[in-house]
Structure 1
Amino acid sequence: MTNTTPNSEPVRPARPRAAPLLAQLSRESGESLIDQIVRSVAARIDDKLLRSGARMPSIRQFAGTHGVSAFTVVASYDKLVAQGYLESRRGAGFFVRERAPMNASVRAQAGAAASARAGDGSLLGGADARPLDVVWLVRNIFRQVPHQQVPGTGVLPSDWLDGASIANALRAISRQAPATLVSYGAPQGFLPLRQQLERKLAELEIGAAPEQIVTTVGVTQALDLVAREFTRPGDTIFVDDPAWFLMFGAFTAMGANVVGIPRLADGPDIAQLAQLAALHKPKLYVINSVLHNPSSTSLSGAKAFQVLRLAEEHGFIVVEDDIYCDLHPGSSVQPATRLAALDQLNHVIYLGGFSKTMAANLRVGYIAASPERATRLTDRKMLATLSTSDIGERVVYKILSEGLYRKHVDRIHARLDGLRGRTIRQMERVGLKIEVAPAAGMFVWADAGRDTNVLTEHAMAENLLLAPGSLFSPSQLPSRHMRLNIASMQDPAVWRFLERELKV
């Protein structure tokens, strides 16, 4: 029977509200609701969370579930139709369009980094699901979802960085002579920046004159130049295991044999390094000495000396990737041993950059090497790109030379230090195991006690991006570990998801 109240319309039972298709929309993000809907629905279709032929919610149902107007839903659906994600069927509604299958050669390239995995490693269900590989993670990182929903990201949230200083530097550079804005930069890099980097490296006890420094498009290009110059197809490159995932596929594509060296809390497993060096005779060993990615641990002095001894004995070059240098509080606060400081660039090539602390979009990195190697790398850079962006290098120089950067980095240290302890304790409360709690940096290498590929699949269904441990190993075998960024773990939705998934 329908209930009634005096002088009122009959009260009908409330219709159950449909579950939301998307994560909560934001009216304060600066992105229109239409664009948020289009981006989110397109991503779910790309990730096979919405299958070809699936019927979309009706306009009225979508509007009611997500608290938007019917006009917003119509405009969003029309935009998705125009982009080829949906099709409109008169009288029936909107449906996910059948997507053209990926060309076999393109599919092979996209999955090259996952070719060494055991099994097919497919995620998100079905034989046609995209493999969870390095390309998958990078593509999803660039989806521009809010940083609170990307606990697997490798960068700090944008609101932690000093955009105002970059904007001021750009304005100052724009007032310089027009010729400086339209000409090629110097092949070796903007000289005042290289002179500034000489002073920066001297503070780390690394002696490198400006002619020993080559600027690059971030550390990614620096690694590419070093590998192409000092290896040939069939040569072996050692990497830490776990380590930064992007280089595995890049080195393999060059024809290199990529071999992982087990990474411990204080550096590589020296016994394994010695044994594998004798077996493989590597050309390069790429290593994070300070704030290793993904564990934020650092190399001990004893291990550093042993690595250099083995490099000399077996004739390989140590490539020291120190991209997280400025996230370390300094040796006066915590021990930090850099191989380049001990070796003075004899057996070591040192890499650095500013994408993690200044701006990822500037893409300014650098290589410090012996004079002969720096000359070779400059020639290699000219063959690849002629020069790097003089404008970006001038921006970095201005910020460094005016003393603004040091204060900015100090603020980052303080924010990370304020979060780290309580975030790790909360990780442990929801069921994660932290074998080595880092004292600095933004990453924690956590043991979830289960296959983190599966965990990542479940997270994607809730618009959360994790970084499973399988991606951080050259073998890409299933792993119980995952990398978490403490600066991007402050959204309650992240904790609710982990607590629900990890409860025993």
Structure 2
Amino acid sequence: MTNTQTQASPARAGKAQPTALVALLSRESGESLIEQIVRSVAARIDDRVLRGGARMPSIRQFAGAQGVSCFTVVASYDKLVARGYLESRRGAGFYVRERSPLNADQRSAAGAGAGVEPAPVWPDADAGKAIDVVWLIRNMFRQTPYQQMPGSGVLPNEWLDGQTVANALRAVGRQNPNLLLSYGLPQGFLPLRQQLQQKLAELEIVAAPEQIVTTAGVTQALDLVAREFTRPGDTIFVDDPAWFLMFGSFAALGAKVVGIPRLGDGPDIARLAELAALHQPKLYIINSVLHNPSSTSLSAAKAFQVLRLAEQHGFTIVEDDIYCDLHPGSAVQPATRLAALDQLQRVIYLGGFSKTMAANLRVGYIATSRQWAERLADRKMLSTLTTSDIGERVVYKVLSEGSYRKHADRMRLRLDAVRGKTVRQMERVGLTVDIVSPAGMFVWADAGRDTNALAERAMAEGLLLAPGSLFSPKQLASTRMRLNVAAMQDPAIWRFLERELGR
């Protein structure tokens, strides 16, 4: 047990090294040092690394360890007091405030008054939270700088084109104000769907605007499809490993989630055939291109076999192509999409712009047959009425003005520039990388030990890892973890991995 976890006495807790309480401070992140300290300390209190009654380091001790001024520490402690995390005891210093319903209310009020979302308050019984999907997502949304989130699934903000998005938003704002006050169309902003028709045609997927339904990201798209085409007790196939968020979402609908082993060129076909005969699934969710978490892509041979099995056993394929624009295209590298082979007969195609344009716009889409598009639009109305017409207008503006293509090229080039040297450094510190995809942001690395335990130790130092157990519907312990090559540039990450892996 570390000193920061010791609860024997306030005096003993006060001996904690301040560097263990705060992630590595950055003077180039755009976030003030005060807010970085507040966020890091609050996260450790929320995660119960610091327990109620623990004494905080003195102002002078904290300032010396972090290389900041005493004024910065005083201002940080004052903000933590105002938000209900700390209490000041005259003549004795600052202490972690004991949790109670009253404190939770005070924290919520303080967060609302400060213009920030209050951190979640966990009951006392939840003293040692397990590493699970909610744990990973919660810590991703703590707004830890991307440099300290090698397990994240997004590109750094400075890799994206925020200025173009801002210009598009301003242009939309200058339109007739009445256009921005009403609901949009259930199927989505028509000019955007017409633009998406052209985008899909470049992928050799033929889809009229009437076959496209916009959604609040691929997350909502998957939820709509699962609700429309499955009932409690039905089976949904997913890749194993695969994107973790859908496991719990499908299970909450009463579906049985079964993993299909994913190999370097697609699913294990023999296992898929065996399990399809056994379970008679309704849906199979698959990343054909730049699979999450391995960045591998489906081979043409495997694609034909998957379609054959879908027809033989009567299941529908849901092709999640959220990483589409990070792939250079078939002229440079092979990229087989099931929707292009099937032309939306038995395949439902999903796409979006959260990874490459702006996650905050929450604009995704579904391409499918006309009949299914109508059903999914009705399902969308029952769920959210319509999606944000403003966000869809912004995305349309960006796509239609032609700069997005060059932006996608720049992102791919930046990933290409860091991928090779990052993988070599992974291997030097003791990670094993079986397959290095020539595109995409992820590496599926083997640490040779339980990565849940590794992730817990990393979080104690302000580093977010994504352990392999989260990427399997079985959620069993794993030596694998997903690493984002665009978020591996902070030296603190390499120091941690080198120390933990013994290289």
Instruction: Give the TM-score normalised by the residue count of structure 2.
Output: 0.90
Which residue pairs with 1:55 in the alignment? 55
Contact 2:427 2:433 in 1 (8 A): yes
User: Displacement, 1:357?
Assistant: 0.7
Which residue pairs with 2:458 in the alignment? 459
Within the alignment, does 1:74 sit opposite 2:74 as a pair? Answer: yes
User: Displacement, 1:127?
Assistant: 7.6
Residue aligned with 2:374, SS? helix
User: Displacement, 1:276?
Assistant: 0.8
Contact 2:86 2:95 in 1 (8 A): yes
Which residue pairs with 2:116 in the alignment? none
User: Displacement, 1:26?
Assistant: 3.0
Which residue pairs with 2:252 in the alignment? 253
Which residue pairs with 1:471 in the alignment? 470
Mapped to 1, the partners of 2:295 and 2:302 lie a distance apart of 16
User: What does 1:353-502 align with in structure 2 at a 5 Å threshold?
Assistant: 353-502=352-501
User: Displacement, 1:292?
Assistant: 0.2
Unaligned segments of structure 1, at least 5 residues: 1-15, 102-125
Which residue pairs with 1:231 in the alignment? 230
Unaligned segments of structure 2, at least 5 residues: 1-14, 102-124
User: Displacement, 1:27?
Assistant: 3.4
1:273 corresponds to which letter in structure 2?
A: L
Which residue pairs with 1:31 in the alignment? 31
Which residue pairs with 1:277 in the alignment? 276
Mapped to 2, the partners of 1:145 and 1:310 lie a distance apart of 43
User: Displacement, 1:17?
Assistant: 12
Deviations 1:452-491 (A, max 9, x none): 1111111111111110000000011010000000011111
User: What does 1:182-193 align with in structure 2 at a 5 Å threshold?
Assistant: 182-193=181-192
Within the alignment, does 1:128 sit opposite 2:127 as a pair? Answer: yes
Residue aligned with 1:490, SS? coil
Residue aligned with 1:259, SS? strand
CA change 1:55–1:411 in 2 (3 A) is same
Contact 1:17 1:65 in 2 (8 A): no
CA change 1:66–1:307 in 2 (3 A) is same
User: Displacement, 1:304?
Assistant: 0.7
Same amino acid, percent of matched pairs: 78
User: Displacement, 1:18?
Assistant: 5.3
User: What does 1:124-203 align with in structure 2 at a 5 Å threshold?
Assistant: 128-203=127-202
Deviations 1:145-187 (A, max 9, x none): 1111111110100000001111111111111101111111111
Contact 1:469 1:480 in 2 (8 A): yes
User: Displacement, 1:38?
Assistant: 1.2
Mapped to 2, the partners of 1:24 and 1:297 lie a distance apart of 33
2:278 corresponds to which letter in structure 1?
A: L
Which residue pairs with 2:302 in the alignment? 303
Contact 2:441 2:484 in 1 (8 A): yes
Mapped to 2, the partners of 1:324 and 1:68 lie a distance apart of 40
User: Displacement, 1:497?
Assistant: 1.1
Mapped to 1, the partners of 2:470 and 2:326 lie a distance apart of 23
Q: Please, which moves more after superposition, 239-248 or 56-65?
A: 56-65
- Look at both structures and tell me which one has the larger radius of gyration over its CA atoms: 1
Which residue pairs with 2:264 in the alignment? 265
User: What does 1:38-49 align with in structure 2 at a 5 Å threshold?
Assistant: 38-49=38-49
Q: Please, which moves more after superposition, 164-173 or 208-217?
A: 164-173
Contact 2:22 2:40 in 1 (8 A): yes
CA change 1:454–1:206 in 2 (3 A) is same
2:99 corresponds to which letter in structure 1?
A: R
Contact 2:228 2:379 in 1 (8 A): yes
Contact 1:214 1:368 in 2 (8 A): yes
Mapped to 2, the partners of 1:437 and 1:67 lie a distance apart of 39
CA change 1:97–1:203 in 2 (3 A) is same
Residue aligned with 2:432, SS? coil
User: Displacement, 1:82?
Assistant: 2.5
